[in-house]
Amino acid sequence: MRKLAVVFFLLWFAVESQSQTLSPEVKAFVKVDAPVVALTHVRVIDGTGAAAREDQTIILRQGKIESVSDAASANVSKDAQVLDLHGYTVIPGLVGMHDHMFYPMGNAVFGEMAYSFPRLYLAGGVTTIRTTGGLEPYTDLELKKQIDKGKTPGPKMHVTGPYLEGPGTFAVQMHQLSGPDDATKTVNFWLDQGVDNFKAYMFITPDELGAAVAAAHKRGAKVTGHLCSIGFREAADLGIDDLEHGLFVDTEFSPDKKPGKCPEDSENPKLMAQLDVKSGPLHETILYLVQHHVAVTSTLPVFEMGSFAGRPTLEKRVLDALSPDARSALLWNRVRSSDSSRLKQRYGGDVSPWPAAFQKELEFEYAFSKAGGLLLAGLDPTGMGGVIAGFGDQREVELLVEAGFTPVEAIHIATYNGAQFLGDLDRTGTIAAGKQADLVVIKGDPSKKIEDIENVETVFKDGVGYDSAKLIDSVRGHVGTN
């Protein structure tokens, strides 16, 4: 009897020591929480780019991956909680590299979705994010603390400082830098506050970008950019680490481009569609970025939402997550974007030039990656309001497959590559013994049918399994409000 009591106490202690930091608010979403968990008979896509392996067993112990092996030879200890996952696939937690916390409220004002977005990211299988531009960086930093302490559900966060923007911005929530000294001061101030990366924005001057990069690099932080006043090759010369969005925002091919200035037509889909990834100036840019170790972040969902009449398919789960106001704004925007009289007025014909430009972006990203470039994956919420946390990250992986990557390559880009860029690869980004147990349990086989990536059932973060459906349910009608 006493022996049994001791065993019981040890078990209780082990369970309690692992979950004691989780608040009741977080515990409400926990489906699996045991010191040892065995995911048996599951298909594993490990994130390295290797082919899917059938009938594997993954053992999680104290929040980490202990082993991955053939189910037949796996040594499942008696104390393990066993999940039989026949018919399921496990992939590493996604690493979302353009995963903001804000939502457009109209008239170029953005509201922080500090309640709904962290839940949706986690529910969608995203266990690590980079915020990639913050409009409320203090909120993002506090949110990160709350998530890390187990007080609120959400992904691990790399918080980006406030946008490094120059004069002339459209966004009233962005500080406009007054010169390179201000850029240096701003970077140092926000590094002191706890951010670990920065994003330069459209109107930043070359001097300011150079100063920001130098200040960030001095303290081990990285800088990405959604640029306009500076072309991609010039940004590479200034030492930038990453470029957001790809070709859509590279102004260096624009005939009106003047040094340090954003050209009138900052996005030129007709010109873009004419560029060739295999030869000429665009090909040279690809090679230049690869040589200079500049990454590119793919954000295809936001461009798909803006480029195609009728695409993407409006999903019920997205509409359900939106507040009534946000839902009607999205539906109105969708109707307007495919209105033929509006197309005629804007482009002089019935055909939008954007689908051809989107196709070119797919070609560019594929060519960049195949040339040895580090391609990262994000969603960029929210376009016209329909690209939202978690669901958009899954759509990004599907669109990478449309670009020509195999499903396993697309998953590699959305997991391993992001972790590598963030310096997290020793802890996450692949399924391997010794790493943190950040894993997504998916019904079906995304290695054959990438759309199965939408069938997330359980998301493990540090070995704790969260109920995806419950998280999604908890924010029904909240997106667009909080």
Q: Which residues bind Zn ion (CB under 5 A)?
A: 380
Query: Which of 380, 409 has the CB closer to Zn ion?
Result: 380
Output the CA torsion 408→413→419→421 (10° steps).
Answer: 150
Tokens of 272: 């873009």
CB 144 within 8 A of CB 196: no
User: What is the smallest separation between the CB atom of 452 and Zn ion, expressed in angstroms?
Assistant: 27
Neighbours of 24 (CB within 10 A): 7
Distance CA 15, CA 147 (A): 20
Distance CA 198, CA 188 (A): 11
Query: Which of 66, 380 has the CB closer to Zn ion?
Result: 380
Query: Which of 201, 368 has the CB closer to Zn ion?
Result: 201
Distance CA 173, CA 171 (A): 5
The phi, psi pair for 381, rounded to 5°, reads: -65, 135
Q: What type of residue is 146?
A: Q
User: What is the smallest separation between the CB atom of 98 and Zn ion, expressed in angstroms?
Assistant: 6
User: What is the smallest separation between the CB atom of 14 and Zn ion, expressed in angstroms?
Assistant: 42
Query: Which of 43, 98 has the CB closer to Zn ion?
Result: 98
CB 199 within 8 A of CB 133: yes
Query: Which of 231, 381 has the CB closer to Zn ion?
Result: 381
User: What is the smallest separation between the CB atom of 223 and Zn ion, expressed in angstroms?
Assistant: 15
Tokens of 435: 């790493």
Q: Of all residues in this chain, which one has the CB nearest to Zn ion in the complex?
A: 380
CB 395 within 8 A of CB 301: yes
Distance CA 236, CA 233 (A): 5
Query: Which of 202, 277 has the CB closer to Zn ion?
Result: 202
Distance CA 374, CA 306 (A): 25
User: What is the smallest separation between the CB atom of 380 and Zn ion, expressed in angstroms?
Assistant: 4
Q: What is residue 344's DSSP assignment? A: H
User: What is the smallest separation between the CB atom of 129 and Zn ion, expressed in angstroms?
Assistant: 12
Distance CA 67, CA 99 (A): 30
CB 136 within 8 A of CB 101: yes
CB 183 within 8 A of CB 208: yes
User: What is the smallest separation between the CB atom of 422 and Zn ion, expressed in angstroms?
Assistant: 17
Of 92, 80, 5, the closest CA to residue 44 belongs to 92
User: What is the smallest separation between the CB atom of 393 and Zn ion, expressed in angstroms?
Assistant: 13
User: What is the smallest separation between the CB atom of 302 and Zn ion, expressed in angstroms?
Assistant: 7
Query: Which of 380, 393 has the CB closer to Zn ion?
Result: 380
DSSP letter string, 264-304 = SSS--HHHHHH--SSSHHHHHHHHHHHHTT-EEEE-HHHHH
